[in-house]
Structure 1
């Protein structure tokens, strides 16, 4: 949720942010109107309740012979209070709905526009040059027995798969490499729930724009998570946390589920865009004044991982219209995919400022004994199943084998290449 005080004092900030995102600018005025109605209703209710309390004391002190005559007034006032409370509750609900129509304020430096309006921050590494016709990851994986797409579809439907043999080991090696790096940088490893309650999913902002991407369990009114970010954001919900020792950093390992609604016919070949995958996600709680610096740290850790597995990549500053509702700024790191002659996203890191924390009731005390304030939350991906696509294509060799990046070899028994029949 946005800062309501800031909305009242500087609504133009939110109008400009909504415009940059390509969102509904009128949502700002709707929220202001709902806020004004809410405050009027609440004042009316509190005034009548104060009158009711005062009148109750008056009745208690009244002579016995006068009390009977005051009963009708007591009942009438009680009815007015009840009606005013109902109006205040309804106004609060209307405000809550209205304010959810406003996305997080984009930060300075975020490009305007949509999916194609990003700016490139940097390109790192050389594109591989092959003296043979490179194969795509599907051909490589099937040749080496790394995954089984046909049986995945038979068992679970389109966009499901089995990772097999060295394919399964390669993913585990990648995730363990990422986990070790996270631990070295002060992250607490977590294996998180993949089913969450509606208030947690709503609190992270995923039900605002991405509800069609999420699997809903109708019988239980719960959701399958598309990222451990959701469970990690909910971990400290409705808590006051201690940040005096610095940020709280968690690394969540989980299976993730995404419906991929609206992407029919798009990246359906192989394991690039699938309904189920594994991921290691970084999640940070910090003070708002440290959020920008922490965002750069998350990005640097993502780049370190890409460099460890020896992938050429670029970093892009995502345009406002391509941000999720919770993100104030997002950097994507995209690896070069040789057979597609383009970069494809492998990781992203988002600064959500205080937006998620306000929704989830996560606070800290800036000063000992002082008033609490919302924390800032950030997230970033360290490794996912999708990385196998880039690793296989960039490190393929003429004899049909795939060279294993040096950083992954200790996790694979020292093997230097995955070869046919290995």
Structure 2
């Protein structure tokens, strides 16, 4: 949640920064107008409550003097009724202020490239050689189906489009990948967590999915539960409404979970293969840090995710997303994009973001500074990595002319020493 004091005190700055994210100045003006109405009502309410206290004292005095207090009593009844009505109005207006503020995205860092589209992202670095083949490379879905390790047809029959079955060596490859990621994340100081796969609305609000992106998730109609779109949600909300012991910071969590996404608005995009599914596995990384630690933590987390790709021998590059292309909650996002030979381009496989205190304000996650004063932590999240997209990258980059696929050396111990995927 954006800091309302910042909006009040540095309105022009906030308008300028959020304009780069497509926010109209009128939205901020509307928020400030409602907020001013709320503040004016608070003053009136406090004045009337002071009047009520004064009248109550006068009534007590009249009663002690055995004098008629009926006029004062009637006056107090009216004042009390006015206060009750005003408090009800205040509650409604406070909810309106909260709703309007909750729909504003995070303020981008000054180093984020400005752009109202994804065009303009800045490439930070590139690693690995683009593989060359003496045959026409196939798509990962063609390879997987020919090998009998990916079954999209039966996935569609059982669940619908954008679902699949991993079979045999395909399932084993996916398991090898996420176990490798989890082991490497543990080496990097992340504590593994097995979180719930369903969360309530308060949790979805805390990480910024609600109320703005309710159409992008799968919610249960008869309960206040939503299937998680990413492990970021239960991991960040682990400390919702908590004060983290300062000595514990930074806290680093990692988790393997399925992610469930409706992919609203993606009709016609990546309709085949593993790139855009309704259900997929992802190894997530989440950090809670002091504010002064978060930018260094972002770079280290990005480097760690990049190292996973290096160990897998997959060519990739790292880019910083534009102001409007990064997530609603992020102040800066670095994307890792892996090379896919069939598509002849880089595709996203990880996003690493610093959300500064944006999520912490929404979820009320704090710590005590050296003066004992409560402060909001900074939260960060990153994919380490998206497992299905890693499967796709391995199948396409390690394919052979005979239809087999070499297994990256670092994954071979996780596959019982197997070096190649062949049709069984």
Tell me the TM-score normalised to structure 1 length: 0.96
CA distance in 2, matches of 1:420, 1:260: 32
For residues 79 and 213 of structure 2, the distance between their equivalents in structure 1, rounded to whole angstroms, comes to 46
Q: Which residue of 2 aligns with 1:380?
A: 382
Contact 1:45/1:88 (<8 A) preserved: no
Segments of structure 2 that go 5 or more residues without pairing to the other structure are: none
Q: Is the deviation greater in 316-325 or in 82-91?
A: 82-91
How many angstroms does 1:256 deviate by? 0.8
Match of 1:77 in 2: 79
**2:95 corresponds to which of 93, 96, 109:** 93
2:137 aligned with 1:134: yes
Question: Aligned to 2:267, which of 230, 240, 264?
Answer: 264
CA distance in 1, matches of 2:47, 2:190: 50
Give the match's secondary structure for 2:349: strand
Q: Which runs of 5+ in 1 are unaligned?
A: none
Cα 1:410–1:60 change in 2 (3 A) is farther
CA distance in 1, matches of 2:14, 2:214: 23
1:386 partner SS: helix
Contact 1:215 1:258 survives alignment (8 Å): yes
Structure 2 residue matching 1:206: 3-state secondary structure: coil
CA RMSD of superposed structures (Å): 1.5
**1:287-366 correspondence to structure 2 within 5 Å:** 287-366=290-369
User: Greater shift after overlay, 59-68 or 256-265?
Assistant: 59-68
* Alignment partner of 2:227 out of 204, 211, 224: 224
Counterpart-to-counterpart distance in 2, 1:90 and 1:233 = 29
Shift of 1:22: 2.0
The alpha-carbon deviation at position 405 of structure 1 amounts to: 0.9
Quote the Cα distance in structure 2 between the aligned partners of 1:56 and 1:274.
66
Shift in Å at residue 418 of structure 1? 1.1
Pick the aligned partner of 2:396 from 393, 396, 401: 393
Q: Please give the residue correspondences for 1:140-289 in structure 2 after superposition, counting only pairs within 5 Å.
A: 140-289=143-292
TM-score normalized with structure 2 length? 0.96
Aligned counterparts of 2:187 and 2:68: Cα–Cα separation in 1: 77
2:373 maps to which residue? 371
Give the secondary-structure state (helix, strand or coil) at the position aligned to 1:285: strand
1:124 aligns with 2:127: yes
2:57 equivalent to 1:47: no
Q: Could you tell me how far apart the structure 2 residues matched to 1:404 and 1:96 are?
A: 51
CA distance in 2, matches of 1:208, 1:158: 27
Q: Residue deviations 1:180-214, cap 9 Å, x none?
A: 11111221111111211112112211135432211
**How many Å separate the matches in 2 of 1:347 and 1:252?**
15
Which residue of the partner structure matches residue 112 of structure 2? 110
The alpha-carbon deviation at position 137 of structure 1 amounts to 0.4
Deviations 1:216-251 (A, max 9, x none): 211113211110111112111111111334301111
> Are the equivalent residues in 2 in contact too, given 1:234–1:360 (CA < 8 A)?
yes
Q: Is the 8 A contact 1:256 1:279 kept in 2?
A: yes
SS in 2 for 1:340: coil
- Aligned: 1:412 with 2:415: yes
Moved more, 3-12 or 166-175: 3-12
Is the 1:316–1:332 contact (alpha carbons within 8 Å) kept by the matching residues of 2?
yes
What's the offset of the Cα at 1:171? 0.9
Say whether the 8 Å CA contact 1:205–1:325 is kept in structure 2.
yes
